[in-house]
Chain A
Amino acid sequence: MSASKRSTDLQTIWFITILCLVCGFLLAVFAYGLQGPQAAAREFDRSKQMLIAAQILNDEEYFTLLDKKSGVAKRAAYREGVLVGDEGALKATADEITEISKKRIRPLLTDKEGNVYTLKEKGVDLSDYLEKNKKMGYANLDFKLFYAILPNSREEIPEEAILKDLSKMYAFVIPVSGFGLWAPIYGYIALESNVDTVIGTTWYEMGETPGLGANITEAWWQNQFFGKVIFHESSTGKVDFKNADIGIVVVKGKVADVYGSSPRSKSAVDGISGATLTGDGVTAAYHDSLTPYRNFFIKVSGEQKTTAE
């Protein structure tokens, strides 16, 4: 049918021009029209991932209350601004997740010396900042981003009070990024207020092999991070915040086989078989993204000691 039809060059050019214009117009309309919902979806996912890293939400989207000593996360319900333990709680709704993120996640900045600033003080617009610096990572900027997770309480804490006493926070979430085997990987690690013990981690954007490297986004793998410490202990079991290596090491195989029960095992997690290179990328990402925050960690842990005394 169509093969029998011969068109002149002019017709062909007209056809292609119109086709391109129509396709281009359609794509432009869709891209423009969906920009808002896409940005909202991205932001929602970011806050969700932070809540998961801090074990306020689990991967099945139930709110949880974490017992920091035992590492057991009990199911919870969101009632009038706070989470209450409730074994029969329903799945968290999108509205509840948005509300609790607004209430408890506070983006803050820290400089090379470990001083902490609010975004307002530095005139930083969060979405601009995130967009512009995502590729390079936030760790090597003059003003590095981190998130303070406020305690589970009904009272409102003013911004100045947060800055004055960081040790009262429930957790700190540090953005981590690096390179996997195929593509950049982006995630979060949530640290307890002692800025050493890990609460949890998530990887929310990556392009690793499904079934292998992509397992870094799975809860069963992320669950082993609880209780690990980011400051590597020396062989005598001492921690020197000023000089110790920082990071979590993904070993090849099982931690017990590689490090036994030596102090190094406290900062190491099991690798995924068939995904050694992804594991190496993840190890490097934790090291490179956390080390620049060293002075901030020292400052917060110092504050904590003085309040404890």
Chain B
Amino acid sequence: MNKKLPLSEYFLDPLWKNNQILVAILGICSALAVTTTLSTAITMGISVSLVTAFSCYFVSLLRKFTPDSVRMITQLAVISSFVIIVDQFLRAYFFTISKTLSVFVGLIITNCIVMGRTESMARNVPPIPAFLDGLSAGLGYGIVLVLVGALREFFGFGQLFNVQLIPNSWYATAEHPQRFQNLGIMVLAPAAFFIIGIFIWIANLISKPEKPA
């Protein structure tokens, strides 16, 4: 790897060219679970970005002293301490947010993206590039989450951010059964699977010409 990459490259690369979901196919499990509504997708995107960024920073700080044989355990210890601290902090000062997030915060520890970035990038580069790389890996993940969440919430509930967008008068009633109905499948996990699959396909189509043969 070229060591003299400009800082911006560390930030821009994982956003699109190496997007963790679309290209590396990481973090799919949580992407299926938290994208039923837009607001949870956004919160999850932000928290994963922050956790990945700071974990990468600390793993990179420790990279010169970390014995090779225990590097994964070290990364895990750093990641989980950080997640727990964030969780404790949320519980004390942002109780309402922590209530909706509590289920997901613990899951961040097991998110493949965090460990993927610390293992493949952070332990090889200085702290600042590692931080940028982690941050944008999380953001790239978040953007995909938000798009999937928006599609699912709109077609599954006719809403965005819990605001009804499809007018209630369009809906099928007992008198007009042929009118619109919410797509039940959008609410379930398989819908996210299809949507992400289509996204990956589109991303491949777009980025194909850039790829070296």
Contact = CB atoms under 8 A, between A and B. Distances in A.
Interface stretch (A4-12, A120-128, A286-294, A296-304): A4-12
Contact of A1 (B37, B65, B74, B124): B124
Interface string A1-40: 1110111000110011001100100110011001001100
Interface stretch (B88-96, B127-135, B202-210): B88-96
Contacts of B99: 45, 204-205
**Interface core residue of A2, A16, A20, A274 (most chain B CB under 10 Å):** A2
B65 A211 contact: no
B81 interface: yes
Contacts, number: 89
A136 interface: no
- Tell me if B's interface is mostly helix, strand, loop or mixed: helix
Interface string A240-279: 0000000000000000000000000000000001100000
Nearest to B104: A210
A37 B93 contact: yes
A2 B92 contact: no
A27 B74 contact: no
A98 interface: no
Given A19-B77, A210-B34, A210-B100, A45 B69 contact: no
Contact of A19 (B37, B74, B103, B184): B74
A118 B74 CA distance: 53
A211 B69 contact: no
A212 B36 contact: yes
Contacts of A273: 184
Report whether over half of chain A's contact residues are helix, strand or loop; otherwise say mixed: helix
A7 B184 contact: no
A41 interface: yes
27 contacts: A1-B64, A2-B124, A5-B68, A6-B68, A7-B68, A12-B67, A12-B69, A12-B70, A15-B66, A19-B62, A19-B74, A23-B78, A23-B81, A31-B88, A34-B89, A34-B91, A34-B92, A37-B93, A41-B95, A45-B99, A205-B99, A207-B103, A209-B36, A210-B37, A210-B103, A274-B184, A274-B187
B19 interface: no
A132 interface: no
A34 to B, nearest CB: 4
Contacts of A26: 81, 85
Contact of B64 (A2, A19, A30, A37): A2
Interface of B: 34, 36-37, 40, 62-71, 73-74, 77-78, 81, 84-85, 88-89, 91-93, 95-96, 99-100, 102-103, 123-124, 153, 156-157, 162, 184, 187-188
Nearest to A41: B95
A30 B67 contact: no
Report, as a range, how many residues of chain A touch the other chain: 20 to 34
A166 B123 CA distance: 67
Nearest to A275: B187
A211 B88 contact: no
Contacts of B81: 23, 26-27
Given A16-B73, A19-B74, 19 more contacts: A2-B66, A2-B71, A5-B68, A7-B69, A15-B74, A19-B62, A26-B81, A27-B81, A27-B84, A30-B84, A34-B91, A37-B92, A42-B95, A44-B95, A207-B103, A210-B34, A211-B37, A211-B156, A274-B188
